[in-house]
Amino acid sequence: MNFRVAQFKTIASNTTAVAAALSLALAGCGGGGGSGNTVGGPAPSPTPTATTPSRLFADPAAESLSVTDVQRVIAQAVGEAQARNLPAVIAVVDRVGNVLAVFRMNGARATTRTSAFISFTGTLNNPPVEAQGLDVPATAAAIAKAVTGAYLSSGGNAFSTRTASQIVQQHFPPAPITPGLESGPLFGVQFSQLPCSDLSARFNSAGGPSALIGPKRSPLGLAADAGGFPLYKNGVMVGGVGVVGDGDYGFDPNILDTDTDAEEFIALAGIQGFAPADNILADRISVDGTLLRFSDARIGGLATLQTNFAAINGTAGALVPVTGYSAGAIVAGSVYGTEISGIRPSTTGEYTNRDIFVLSDGSGANRYPPRAATDGVSGALSAADVRAVLEEAFTVMARGRAQIRQPLDSRIQVSISVVDTNGAILGVIRSPDAPIFGIDVSLQKARTAMFFSSRFAAGDLTTAGLGNFVTRTRTFLNDTAALTGAIAFSNRAQGLIERPYYPDGEVGRPPGPLAQPIEDFNPFATGLQTQLIAGNLLAHAGFILGANADTPQGCTGAPSTGLAPNRIANGIQIFPGAVPLYRGNTLVGAVGVSGDGIDQDDMISFLGGANNGGARAGNGLGNAPKPIRADTVIPPGTNTRLRYVNCPFAPFLDTSAQNACEGL
């Protein structure tokens, strides 16, 4: 099935010379910082909605894709596909993932194949699969690409599926000369927005108030195959377009060359008139000195644009329905930030901070207001505790300097989730222009940190048919009681033992106990993360093709709990940005953060937990006690301790203070 997407990370300190040379090489490659807007026509900078002086963030302006806009995007893409003699499937979505149209050209392939070797060992709930590649519906892949372009982007950054490819692989940046560097900063994010997620909304063919509620799920998670771009209207982020046609659903393992990818050129034609501003492209954003990549395609390589939808509709191809996603007609997109989009500003009755946005049900109700825990543990989280953690984390975020947003010194924008030990969602908030992908990912992160810190992890994994990972972890740590609550795992710590090398990036070292061996690794198969949800993805592909029922809400085969499908009901996430919450020595939940650099996400979650404790609530609620944190653990034979959090230096806009997390 599909799997790829994005994040932001660090280059190993012992590879400075290679990194410096690589940065210079990238500057001369496609997507490496050329002058002028080379992917689209001039686009104005985003125009925010006016805000009151007391606010720190501006709301995105009210823009959306009209039916006419969608027609133009499709017509332009089809014209380029005709010029390249590549019949394709083109999908268009709005900012919150509603599928606005899917167009199949005559002769387009019905399926596309993952280009890497796939091996799922088979579990109680997942059938065994071993193949050079898996065939997935082309319509599903096109939607996943469009969702990726839309979900990874914002008014301050424009990312593509090529960007995603760069930041999810086993080395960052991916290239033949980079073994020895750490994995991509968003390693594993491709397994988010899953069709089985209990957070993501589902297509409602009956219409009504909930028809355009987001964020919507993706049929294949996030994509790393070139051919997916964001769409902007009058400089405002409004959606994405995805193109599938060549039969290969893959990723780019070498960032040093410039690809000529027909799908990417077709998608580039589609965004003309809806291109992001040049100053927010991925290749204007660096991570540890390496520029990200937006597109290898350039407008100079495009054929004459075809803008007349009537000229191609019914002749070059037709609009098609996609089970679970589209009825087969073009619909207009929702205006992000309005009730009907499912994401809106909070009311004064919900939060006093006017910058906080919430998820809504389309009829005015906040889907995830602060509420008390469902688990009944000693010292369980109260609604007041949840509110305090969310608001304190939001305050830390608003003070921080963003890594992935332009212009420089913009404030961080993220989504924040809190869960209890059942995995029940106790509250979700976000800033006005945070990337949409971070909503589901912040919840995945929170649940992951809670799950691996809990006394339930070993038993739940065994029930799901994945006890082999428990055995491997206990052997790796030389601890027969591992995964029963004795160690507090942050997402960073857990992610390090799901890397194809331990320590991360060191070639020749064995894999972490939750990882795929390096010879079997690819962005479609990361280890435990994949094994937990592979059966759901395979079943969902069959649902789209009409072969079986849809996957239920609630990923994985773990046992159900309380008021949640299970403790990891939208899958796990394996890059940093979450910590467990304790009251004294008792695990009571977790807080997860996603939407900016991984060190920024780490800091917000860690300080959100710490500041809520002694400084705010005064009731013993805070981060894990230091003696049980994962950074006290050195796996035998490695001489390398796990890490707990990694906070950026001098991270705040209102002070020059450094080492913000030191001593907490």
Buried b (16+ CB within 10 A) or exposed e, 198-212: bbbbebeeeeeeebb
Max CA separation in the chain (angstroms)? 69
Phi, psi angle pair for 450, to nearest 5°: -65, -50
Q: Do the Cβ atoms of 321 and 361 come closer than 8 Å?
A: no
| pLDDT the model gives residue 49 | 63
Q: Which helix (H) or strand (E) holds 150?
A: helix 138-151
SS3 call for 288 = coil
Q: Quote the CA–CA distance of 207 and 247 in Å, as a whole number.
A: 33
Strand order in the sheet with 248-249: 135-137, 111-114, 248-249
SS3 call for 538 = helix
For residue 248, the cross-strand partners are 113
The pLDDT averaged over each successive group of 10 residues in the chain (664 residues) is 30 35 35 51 60 84 98 98 98 98 98 81 60 89 98 98 97 92 96 98 82 96 98 98 97 95 98 97 91 97 97 98 97 97 97 97 96 96 96 97 96 98 98 98 98 98 95 97 98 97 93 90 90 92 95 92 91 98 96 98 95 62 96 95 95 94 91
Nearest to residue 148, comparing CAs of 106, 186, 110, 177?
186
| pLDDT the model gives residue 210 | 76
Rounded alpha-carbon distances, angstroms, from residue 279 to 36, 44, 395: 9, 10, 27
SS3 call for 332 = coil
Rounded alpha-carbon distances, angstroms, from residue 615 to 349, 507, 612, 619: 25, 43, 6, 10
Q: Quote the CA–CA distance of 44 and 210 in Å, as a whole number.
A: 32
Cα 326–330–335 angle (5° rounding)?
Answer: 90
Write the DSSP symbol of residue 219. Answer: B
SS3 call for 398 = helix
SS3 call for 360 = strand
For residue 230, the cross-strand partners are 240
Query: Domains (ranges, CATH) in the chain?
Result: 13-46+65-339 (3.30.450.150), 368-431+436-632 (3.30.450.150)
Q: What are the structure tokens assigned to 223, written together?
A: 């994509």
Buried b (16+ CB within 10 A) or exposed e, 431-467: bbbbbbbbbbbbbbbbbbbbbbbbebbbbbbbbbbbe
Q: What are the structure tokens assigned to 200, written together?
A: 């993501």
For residue 388, the tally of other CB atoms under 10 A from its CB is 22
For residue 586, the tally of other CB atoms under 10 A from its CB is 14
Whole-model pTM?
A: 0.93
